Structures are given as C-alpha cells and as structure tokens.
Amino acid sequence: MSEDTFKSGFVSIIGMPNAGKSTLYNALMGEKLAIINPKAQTTRHRILGVKNGEGFQIIYSDTPGILRKTSYGMHEKMMKVVNESLEDSDVLVLLLDIHGRDFSEEIRLKFEGSKAKKIVALNKIDNSNQEELVKKLSWLKETFEAEVYLPVSAQEGFQLDVLEKYIVDFLPLHPPYYPEDQLTDRSERFFVNEIVRNNILKLYEEEIPYASEVVTLSFKEEEKIIRLHCEVILERPSQKPIVIGRNGAGIKRLGIESRKELETFLGKQVYLELFVKVRDDWRNNKTMLKQFGYDTE
C-alpha cells in the first residue's frame, strides 16, 4: 500500500458515564483492553488501542465518562483527558445510551467546536423499540451537528462494521503512527492495575470502588510464572477492614478472582500478592495522583 494513500488517525470515544464506551472500544478493537462494569466512573484513564487494516491504522481512545460535577481532584484530571480528546482527535464518536442522560449545553458546544470529524452513535438500541429509536434519532439530529448519526449496539455488535467504515473514510492521509505489532500505548503493569481494580468494582459496594486505586509495585517475569506485588490504596482507615474481610476472606477472594483474569491476559501462571494501604484523601492529593498515573499539570 502506497504511503500516499495510507490513512491513519486518532479516534476518541466520548460520552456520559455508562453509555457503553468501553464495551464499544473493546468490540471495535477485538480485544478486552478497557474494563467493563455497570458502576459509573469505571474508566479513569485514556487508553489508546492500535488497530491495523488494509491501508489504514486507527488509534482508538477510550475516555472517562463525562461528569457534570467534579467532586475530587481525580475527577478534574479525568475531565482534562476528555477535553484533550476533543482537541486532538481526527474523529470523535459521541456515544449516547438511548435511555441515558442527555448532555449539558457546555459539552454539546465543546463537541461541536472540535475540528474533528464527528459521528453521533446511539447505543443500546437492542433494548428499545422502533418508535423510540426514530424519536431519539430525530432529537439527535436537531441537537448535535455531526457528519453521521448512527444507531448501534456495542453489546450485540450491531452496525459496528458500518461505524468503522465511516471512521476509516474520515481518517486523514498519514503514515502509521505505531508499529504494526503494537496493540496499545499502556504497559502490562497498567493492565494488571486495571484488572485488579475491576474486581474491586465487582466485589465491593458503597464507596470502596470509588475510593480505591491499585498500584503494581513489582512485576517479575520468570520462565514459567509471573510474580506480582500489588497494593490496594484506600482513603480511610475504616475502609481497610471492609476490603480485607473477616479472617482475610475479602482480600483472598479478590486475589483469586484477579489471578484468574491475569493468567488469561498475560498467558502465563501468576503468583499475586495483594496488600492494603491507606493514603488519606488521595483523590485530592496532587503528588499521589501523579504517582498513580493521573496528569497533574
């Protein structure tokens, strides 16, 4: 394929919490790179995924859900990621849940102010009827300025091939940004953190999932096994016994569930050690946010 006709660019998927962004991202990538959970604010970081095809390279970006109110410094950093995606993408996919919350006027103006090509995708249509779909699509066309309005189902894979065809059509002529064998910009340690954190989301209720962070302190790969040492970071001392559980049952279960997924993801036997630490009000601490991978500039 000639470099003169090769297309490559950055595509960001943005939307409100629980719109299905991570499900769509994983489906388009054909890989489970972003964690999926029904709890809000599951995605905290921008994760780039590189997809190569005949004559094109798409760099997909999953982004945190757009928050109308930021309660912590961490939320501000998450929203900075969203704003950056509005500015530096070649194509924006605005994903809306057909039953979900509508966007604020501020977000609509930021979306329309972007120089990127714009696609508005209406998700979860498998849970709606024709009348509702027609009504919602009409509302989208009246509310958002975009090149394409498309009903999809990320969960069922409906019209995702059509969506990707539009994306490729909108990509600029450009040589590939990444080597063909590179799948993502994130390290294995990052995905270890995300897998453990996703199991925290699954296993614990109330404030624990939102007040927790995971840090991989040691990643040692041997011939037959990978040895991991991870810390679960919490905000308050009262949260620690909840995570550990009676006689250590909670942290043991977290370790077992996480190790299963890690072995599948890493393709090797895993020895996982989990420790629980308290870092008071870490979500508002700039030093700790930077340590945990959040941009603090």
pLDDT at 123: 92
Query: What domain range includes position 136?
Result: 7-170
In which region does residue 140 sit, left (phi positive, over 0), alpha (psi from -120 to 50) or beta (all else)?
A: alpha
Q: Does the pLDDT at position 43 exceed 70?
A: no
Query: Considering its fold, how many domains does the chain have in total?
Result: 2
- Are 200 and 151 within one domain? no
pLDDT band at 292 (very low <50, low <70, confident <90, very high): confident
Q: What is the CATH number of the domain that holds 30?
A: 3.40.50.300
Strand partners, 151: 122
Q: Does the pLDDT at position 211 exceed 60?
A: yes
- Are 119 and 193 within one domain? no
- Are 151 and 78 within one domain? yes
pLDDT at 234: 94
- Sole residue written with tokens 């790179």: 33
- Are 77 and 215 within one domain? no
Asked if 47 and 96 touch (Cβ cutoff 8 Å), the reply is: no
- Are 266 and 236 within one domain? yes
Q: Does the pLDDT at position 99 exceed 90?
A: no
pLDDT at 18: 77
Show which of 143, 170, 197 is a domain's final residue: 170
Show which of 102, 135, 170 is a domain's final residue: 170
- Are 211 and 104 within one domain? no
- Are 94 and 232 within one domain? no
- pLDDT, one tens digit per residue, over 242-267 is 999 999 999 999 999 999 999 998 99
- Are 21 and 148 within one domain? yes
Is residue 41 a part of any domain in this protein?
A: yes
- Are 29 and 163 within one domain? yes
pLDDT band at 72 (very low <50, low <70, confident <90, very high): very low
Show which of 170, 199, 227 is a domain's final residue: 170
Q: What are the residues whose beta carbons fall under 8 Å from the beta carbon of 261, sequence distance 6 or more?
A: 195, 198, 199
